[in-house]
Structure 1
């Protein structure tokens, strides 16, 4: 009898453990499902709450919010909209500054990624990688102060020279040169988005199959030709994906832009003029805004959200298309 009892005890334990596992598995599955759905719920809550707050402005302005530059805030406190809210100049400043920032950052990001993955020895690549990634940890207020107090005075003679030499030929360089302007803002933004852009591109370059690179060398290609025709060509989808991540940060950057851009919204494309972005306008005006003006600022935020969604959808389509053409894995 003792032997029978001892033999059935492990079986009972196994059955109890099996029952616990059968209960734990669906519970864990439901927990993970709710965790995933929570992201969608928060996003839906954000969209519904901001859109409902801004809806009176959308009803009054319609597409003028996107395509008109007339911005005359009202002070109504009864829920009506008395002012005029055309946000084209803010959307224009946002898109142009972000695009120029990527024009500064993308060549540097590709060059850094190529050097770290294809040329640099490990004793140099590792600390340099840490240094580049460390730029992402610098608070945006520090970038803003650095740009306003140090970058602007250093670049002012160069900007004056460009305005004098290139302004008569290219309207984008025409003066007068403002101390706070779109050019310096875009340059600082480019440095801010450089870490995330280069990190993504670096990982994509590192995943290029070693056999393909060796095959290029075996065919007599130089190191430059292998980097250009194998590494970069194989990574186009990843490069665009990294660029879109950087562009997303540039579109929403607030504090650094607020300190550098000048705060005077304009719709003409002149690098040395002041401008204003959606995020910096909201940050500058929100504290002392009337209830009506707050609705208009929320409407601007919703407009920026729509622009960001459109940019990301287009980027996803391009990345997917390039991934199918080149055989890359779409990000």
Structure 2
């Protein structure tokens, strides 16, 4: 009897030791995983800090020479070493605004059509076609825009807009000047095509998440399709729609190659959307390899720093808006 009790005690001790070893291994694994996730998070902060520090150091000579006038000076003359960021900032904001004004309504309508109105046989092909637009390299958009889209605008669209708005206040300023084909309007339209897949995909996903009972109840009360979209779908998905808008805006602000091909790369500010212009990313891409002298190079780095802060401000506003919407919801 004592032998059986001794064997049972040994078995219990062995089981307890085995369980303790398993727990130690699990704790060790959990600690390693916790350390890896923390390290990845800190790595992101370190990389972001490194980018900011590098931009600030590189932009210091230009900002020290020109001061705040760098932000409001239109001139860009490498010969006299007089540089200003007003024209690139203006072009970046205008082309991005044109792109979002076009892409957001069109993307929302496509997303609602795919989720509510599209025949099932067409839903998948149209969805795949929209997603394929996001996979086309930006340089292909630029080549197509320069050799196909810009000549079409120059021959057909821009002359029509000039004639249609010739006597309309404000609009005759926006659509004035000779039809070059290239310019800020062309760049904005190319950006709209590039941004459209992001807005459409995210909007379609959030529209699919709307409970069917809400839409069925609205239709049961006699609401039209437009009323269901405006009063049910959009309010329910407003957080996701704003997120898609901000994602598209971030893409539009930083796009380089496609814009470089079609914007005209002229460092001046014009109220006309037909006029050639430039953006921050296009200026950097065009001139960085040709920059001779520390002040020239520093001015281009300062443009990159400005673009970084513009993107940061846009994302901060987006986060604030989403936070307010979530609190109200």
Superposed pair shares fold, TM > 0.5: yes
The aligned counterpart of 2:308 is 305
5 Å-filtered alignment, 1:101-120, equals 101-120=99-118
Asked if residue 40 in structure 1 is aligned to residue 45 in structure 2, the reply is yes
Q: Would you say the 8 A contact 1:167–1:175 is kept in 2?
A: no
Matched residues in 2 for 1:154 and 1:9: separation?
83
5 Å-filtered alignment, 1:168-247, equals 168-169=167-168, 170-247=172-249
Matched residues in 1 for 2:312 and 2:73: separation?
21
Q: 1:253 aligns with which of 252, 255, 274?
A: 255
Q: Which runs of 5+ in 2 are unaligned?
A: none
Structure with higher Rg: it is 2
Matched residues in 2 for 1:47 and 1:98: separation?
23
String of CA shifts for 1:192-244, please: whole Å, max 9, x gaps.
01111111211221222222222212322223321221002322332222111
The aligned counterpart of 2:30 is 25
Secondary structure at the residue paired with 2:290?
A: coil
Q: 1:85 aligns with which of 73, 83, 86?
A: 83
The aligned counterpart of 2:122 is 124
Q: Would you say the 8 A contact 1:217–1:226 is kept in 2?
A: yes
Instruction: Please report how far the alpha carbon of residue 137 of structure 1 lies from its aligned counterpart in structure 2 after TM superposition.
Output: 0.7
Matched residues in 2 for 1:36 and 1:97: separation?
34
The aligned counterpart of 2:58 is 53
Asked if residue 64 in structure 1 is aligned to residue 69 in structure 2, the reply is yes
5 Å-filtered alignment, 1:312-331, equals 312-325=315-328, 327=329
Matched residues in 1 for 2:23 and 2:236: separation?
49
Q: Would you say the 8 A contact 2:263–2:277 is kept in 1?
A: yes
Q: Would you say the 8 A contact 1:71–1:86 is kept in 2?
A: yes
Secondary structure at the residue paired with 2:178?
A: coil
The aligned counterpart of 1:77 is none
Query: Structure 1 19/111 Cα, relative in aligned 2: closer, same or farther at 3 Å?
Result: same
The 10-residue stretch of structure 1 (200-209 or 106-115) with the greater mean CA deviation from structure 2: 200-209
Q: Would you say the 8 A contact 1:237–1:320 is kept in 2?
A: no
Q: Would you say the 8 A contact 2:158–2:181 is kept in 1?
A: no
Query: After the TM superposition, which parts of structure 1 deviate over 4 Å for at least 4 consecutive aligned residues?
Result: 1-10
Q: Which runs of 5+ in 1 are unaligned?
A: 75-81
For normalisation by structure 1, the TM-score amounts to 0.90
Query: Structure 1 226/61 Cα, relative in aligned 2: closer, same or farther at 3 Å?
Result: same
The aligned counterpart of 2:285 is 283
The aligned counterpart of 2:273 is 271
String of CA shifts for 1:229-285, please: whole Å, max 9, x gaps.
100232233222211111111111000011111111221221111110010010000
For normalisation by structure 2, the TM-score amounts to 0.91
Instruction: Please report how far the alpha carbon of residue 14 of structure 1 lies from its aligned counterpart in structure 2 after TM superposition.
Output: 2.4
Instruction: Please report how far the alpha carbon of residue 118 of structure 1 lies from its aligned counterpart in structure 2 after TM superposition.
Output: 1.6
Q: Would you say the 8 A contact 1:65–1:86 is kept in 2?
A: yes
Secondary structure at the residue paired with 1:248?
A: helix
Matched residues in 2 for 1:234 and 1:123: separation?
27
String of CA shifts for 1:90-130, please: whole Å, max 9, x gaps.
10000000100111111110011101112224432223212
The aligned counterpart of 1:161 is 160
Secondary structure at the residue paired with 1:286?
A: helix
Matched residues in 2 for 1:197 and 1:31: separation?
34
Q: Would you say the 8 A contact 1:93–1:265 is kept in 2?
A: no
Query: Structure 1 175/168 Cα, relative in aligned 2: closer, same or farther at 3 Å?
Result: farther
Matched residues in 2 for 1:46 and 1:292: separation?
20
**How many residues end up aligned between the 2 structures?**
319
Instruction: Please report how far the alpha carbon of residue 72 of structure 1 lies from its aligned counterpart in structure 2 after TM superposition.
Output: 2.3
The 10-residue stretch of structure 1 (233-242 or 138-147) with the greater mean CA deviation from structure 2: 233-242
